[in-house]
Each structure stands twice: as C-alpha cells, then as structure tokens.
Structure 1
C-alpha cells in the first residue's frame, strides 16, 4: 500500500477555511485540496446533480492517492456524503474513508448551548436538506433547532464585498430573521464554510450573549480525534507537510480568492474532472 495525502474537497473556495484549521492543527500531513470552481455553486442544484459532481471529485482524489477525503462542503455533506459512503464506497474501495463537516459540528453545538435552542445559518441547499436538524437532534435529543437560508452571503464573500457597507443590510436582515424565530437562541452555527469571512460583520449585529460556532476548528479537532482512534488510517496518510491546490477553473482566479480563505498565498494547478 502506498501512502497518500489527505484529500479536502469543496465546490469552491469555502473549504479552504476548513483546510486552514486542519493544517494548523496537524501540519505534519500532506494535503491536497480540490475546488470544483467550474461547477460552483452546488447549493442551488438538485440532489442528483450534487451527488454526481461530488462522487466525481471524490473518485478524482482517490486517483491522486488519497485514502481519506474530507468533504469540506456543507451542501455535499448534506446531499451526497451518506449515499456515497453506503452505495459507492464499498464497490470503489471499502478501506478508504470519506468524512463530512455536518456530524462533528452537530455534535459540538449541543454541548455548547445552555438554553437548548440553537440556530443554523446556511445555503438554501443545506437548509432544505434538514441535515443539521436531523443530526443535531440525533446527537442531543430534545434540542430545538431553528434554520434560515442566507442566499446572498456566499456571493458577498466571493465578490469581495464581505467587509463593505453593502454586506450590512443582508447580514442584519438574515440575523434578525433567525433570531425572530425564538428569543431563546443562545448559539448560532455558521453552516457554510464561506461564512467565517463574515464573522466580524456577524458579531457587529449579533447580541453579545449569543455564541457563534465556525466549522473550521471543530472539523480540525474532530479529524485529529478520528485519526487518534483509527491508527490504521494514519498508516495510510503520508507525512511531509505539503499542500497541493487544484481547481477545475481558472488558476488565476482561484489564487486571487484563495488567499482570503486560506490566509496565505497559494499556487494552484488546473485539473479537468
């Protein structure tokens, strides 16, 4: 068996906020990031299309030598992960693993909330799937989960408007919408990997007593715990401290945007899926 990098997949740039925390937590491993920028956004597409695109990208990362792939995309985790794990992975290679971002985040939010009332903000696809409602209630029975889709937040981030005054209206409007569902909400989950870039704006319009959970650190800690419990998977992951970035669209655009999500400059390579 040849060791390989840990694969990290997202439909675009957002997964880089997760990769940033994973690399910070476990810098010794090799990582390969794939952004399917040519076909983004996934959030507005059908279940069948999201499943098809995600499976193609997972297979591509397997072909690059990855034994472990992280779906650092809420939409893909919500609409494709379970089907791929149960239906496709046994036939591809039952010894490989695919993990998502929803379960570790759902496990955490129930432990943090004191009131038992939590809010979830995400893309339309993620919210419509009810994946967070199902998973949070599974992890913490009896907890009340309120959801709200924020369709303008990702465009604000990807067009570089997340720090401008133009973002204020939409952020305040969406925060009011979810908080109006219950005055007992004390914990708010940012259920999209783009949203950490809006954190300072969100904090500006959010009551001080409400805690905000971003996924990057939660997923990184969960992955570290997973590897500690699965030494057989550690043996399949190469150690070298390298990071490779791949995109299905313009490398120039990817590199220009990626610096804001990853926190440092990257040099990507174009690939065709």
Structure 2
C-alpha cells in the first residue's frame, strides 16, 4: 500500500477526501485528523508548522509519496516552509501539496465580473492567504473576505438545521455583501462549510455562484497526477480508504461520517508532542 495521504486538523478535510474519492476512486487514501490538537485556526504559525510537519513525517512512514494538506490553516501557515526547508532534507522524492493554491489558480475564472467573496475562519482571513494568492493569478480581481467564527461550531455540534445556523449565515452574508455589493462568486474557503452549502444557497442572492473548495482541489489533483507520472506511478490503486485520528475514534466516526457522506471507521494514532 502506498496511499495518497490526506491531512487535516480535524474532520473538515473529509469533505475534500470525499471529492477525491468521487473523482479518483481507484486510488488508496490514508486520512489523518489531528483532532486531539484541533482547532489549528487560533494557534501560532510555529505551532501549526510543528504539528503539521510531525503528521507529514508520519505519512511518509506509511509510504505515502504524496500528501495533501486538506486544511486551510496548515496550508496557510506550514506548507511553504515544509516544501522549501524540510522536503529537500527529509524526502526529496516526495511531495506535499495544499488546498489554497489549487483553489486560487482557478477561482478567478469562475467569476464573470471579477468580484469574489471569501468565507473563511478568522485565522485564514487574517493570514491574507487568499487575496495574496488570487492576485498572483488574477491581479485585477477584487476580493472581499468575511470571517465566520460561528460556522465551524455550528457544523461540529450538528446545529445545521437550526434557527441559530440561519441567523449566523444571514449575518455573515449580509456583512460580506455590504463590503462588496457586486460579488458574483462566493468561495467556501473552509472545509467545514460545504455541510452548510444548501443553507448558504438559500440566503445568497439568486444569481451568485457558490463554489466549494473540495471540487476545485479534486480537479487540480487529477491534473497534478497527469503531469507527474513519477509520483502517480508510486500511488497504489486498490480503491481503499483508511482513517486515523489522534483523539476518540468513536467521536471521529460519528462526526466523520457526516463530512465524508459515508460511514467512517477510524483507528487511534498517538502522536507525542516534540
């Protein structure tokens, strides 16, 4: 087994894995949720980097030639350092990719008028990763961001179909469109948010396009594997998925199945803090 590694601080990355399995079902996938140390969003760059690197090294021990950080915080705060400083030393023949770049490479072409709204966690918004990366590919794009701190707790506490969810979704969308009334495309830049997609759609202006990150990243992974046969040939293809968590497996399995859209059976992994 040489699976494709998929990493997240918790459950959210399962919405990305779900799209991978939909588009590329033949590959083996190994998922790790670092639930024991989640959330990453409010942690320092140094801590996120240290935790993420430790998990990446674990994936390498499991024979993964390719690891995807399906976590916006890890992609924003740890990916570049791992790619530039660590990989050349510890695993020059392996690759670690994130979710921000494949999203920002194409999001501009989703918009007709060049005005995009980003809905994300406070950590992702403060990192400015999305505006910075989008402007590399689409310099004239106008990008408006809105932090939605209540959305992750709503999803994780299974409060999706409640008046509270409606209240916070309306409040954040109102604030976003107040900043950019001309927005024609909204990106869900947090892997938890696809679970709120139907509800967000209800409160969006009718002609605004809503884009989930997982779909963009899955299509980008397809292209990556085509362009890099030296990595693709090392990925095993038995159509299997394995799940690990650094916290309660029972908790992971019940929450995880909501995100993955299918039953999940995880194993516990103990990671010692360095």
Please say whether Structure 1 and Structure 2 have the same fold, judged by a TM-score greater than 0.5: yes
1:24 & 1:171 partners in 2: Cα distance? 28
Aligned partner of 2:15 among 17, 25, 39: 17
Is 2:175 aligned against 1:177?
A: yes
Helix, strand or coil for the counterpart of 1:66? coil
Helix, strand or coil for the counterpart of 1:219? helix
Structure 1 residue 107 displacement after superposition: 1.4
Structure 1 residue 114 displacement after superposition: 1.0
Instruction: Kindly provide the CA deviation profile for residues 181-229 of structure 1, in whole angstroms up to 9, marking residues without a partner as x.
Output: 0111111110000000001110111101111110111111100110001
1:148 & 1:47 partners in 2: Cα distance? 21
2:237 & 2:140 partners in 1: Cα distance? 42
Instruction: Kindly provide the CA deviation profile for residues 122-172 of structure 1, in whole angstroms up to 9, marking residues without a partner as x.
Output: 111111111100110001111111111111100000000012222111111
Report the TM-score when normalising by structure 1.
Answer: 0.98
Structure 1 residue 108 displacement after superposition: 1.7
Aligned to 2:267: 269
Aligned to 1:123: 121
Instruction: Kindly provide the CA deviation profile for residues 70-129 of structure 1, in whole angstroms up to 9, marking residues without a partner as x.
Output: 000011101110111001111111110001111111112100111111111111111111
Structure 1 residue 6 displacement after superposition: 0.2
Is 2:100 aligned against 1:108?
A: no
Report the TM-score when normalising by structure 2.
Answer: 0.97
Q: Say which is worse superposed, 165-174 or 190-199, in terms of deviation.
A: 165-174
Q: For this pair of structures, how many residues does the alignment match?
A: 271
Aligned partner of 1:257 among 252, 255, 273: 255
2:158 & 2:63 partners in 1: Cα distance? 34
Q: Which stretches in structure 2 are left out of the alignment for 5+ residues?
A: none
CA contact (8 A) 2:5 2:29 kept: yes
Q: Runs in 1 of length 4+ with deviation above 4 angstroms? A: none
Q: Which stretches in structure 1 are left out of the alignment for 5+ residues?
A: none
Helix, strand or coil for the counterpart of 1:43? coil
